[in-house]
Amino acid sequence: MLEGAAFVYDDSVLKYDFGSDHPFKVWRVRLAKDLLSKSFQDLHVVPASPASRTDTELFHTPEYLDLVRKFSITGTGLLDGGDTPAFPGCYEASLNVVGATLDAVDLVLEGKYAHSANFAGGLHHAGKGNASGFCILNDCAVAIARLRKAFRKVAYIDLDAHHGDGVMYGFYSDPGVIDIDVHQDGKTLFPGTGSHLEAGSGEACGTKLNLPIPPGSADDVLLDLFNEFALPFLEEAMPEFMIMQCGADGLRGDPLAGLSFTQYGYVKVIEAVHEISHRICMGRLVIVGGGGYDPEATAECWASEYIAISGSAQRCRLIPSTSPPSVLKRVGSLKAEIRESHPSFSG
Ligand SMILES: [Zn+2]
Ligand SMILES: [Zn+2]
């Protein structure tokens, strides 16, 4: 069995930089790589190349790509309602990020590695024709669109504290995209979407699974919902390729979100998905980054996740975090509602 994981990285992704006053710190990707190079024997760094315009048009509209290119030349103004400022070269920098995710996918498709990681990717809010929430181009969605040409069914699993709206709505009516998204309840956090009632439309009804959890939810809730809903749903769907968005802003203490996960929760979920990937889709699993606004904690979490998909046992002696009783009570009601309303769990 092919093992080992590629850490796709190129200094060019560091150009995806909104400036020092902005909370999105792209350099945490390099920090994750530096941590691994000091502590992990089995690090395989593979350089990345930019995506082409044709690649990005698999998901984004030509009009929107032209608009981003225009903003990229002037380097000023806002690409969305306020969170995503343009900067000089933002078009090319976005192509670098998308290209790194596509390269990560190709390394797995070509059988060079069992798995791969691009922590500069995971820009899950961008829509076909719009920027949103620090995301200019949606590398996850471009990769899924490309994979859908080769595969009947692709799974997208999103661990970011924020709902992955750009990906979910981008494929909302595509029955070939299985979408599993655990996130802080949209009533309490940007972008406000991702209710458990959003399960896909038309033929795709039942192919999307949203798990919106209350602020304060900890590892116990994450693992409980994964074991009860997400993992059986994933296994049942039998995807042929998996992309996992590993936004680390669900970590306790993140300045932009209110969840209480630790590295323990993230690693346990990734280990479970990794194991399933070998069982049902020949290990075809690519992980990407996303949010994470405590740069050091995010880099440490991503380093542990890379070790997890590299097939090495973790030396971590972490203790899982636990949720307060009020959160557990609300999660109990959410579980009952999902069992009642979701096409895959009701009846
Ligand atoms: Zn996020
Ligand atoms: Zn593996």
Ligand 1 center–CA 320 separation, angstroms: 21
In contact, 145 and 57? CB cutoff 8 Å: no
Ligand 1 center–CA 171 separation, angstroms: 19
Among all bound ligands, the one having the nearest atom to the CA of 309 is 2
With a CB cutoff of 8 Å and minimum separation 6, the contacts of 346 are 339, 340
Q: Whole-prediction pTM value? A: 0.97
User: Which segments of 228-297 are extended strands (E)?
Assistant: 241-245, 285-288
Tens of each residue's pLDDT in the chain, 347 residues? 566 899 999 999 999 999 999 999 999 999 999 999 999 999 999 999 999 999 999 999 999 999 999 999 999 999 988 899 999 999 999 999 999 999 999 999 999 999 999 999 999 999 999 999 999 999 999 999 999 999 999 999 999 999 999 999 999 999 999 999 999 999 999 999 999 999 999 999 999 999 999 999 999 999 999 999 999 999 999 999 999 999 999 999 999 999 999 999 999 999 999 999 999 999 999 999 999 999 999 999 999 999 999 987 665 667 899 999 999 999 999 999 999 999 999 86
> Is residue 278 flagged as an active site residue?
no
Ligand 2 center–CA 306 separation, angstroms: 11
From 125, 163, 196, 342, active-site residue: 125
Set out the domains of the chain in order of their start, with CATH numbers.
5-341 (3.40.800.20)
User: Which segments of 121-251 are extended strands (E)?
Assistant: 154-158, 177-184, 208-213, 241-245
Among all bound ligands, the one having the nearest atom to the CA of 242 is 2
Ligand 1 center–CA 303 separation, angstroms: 18
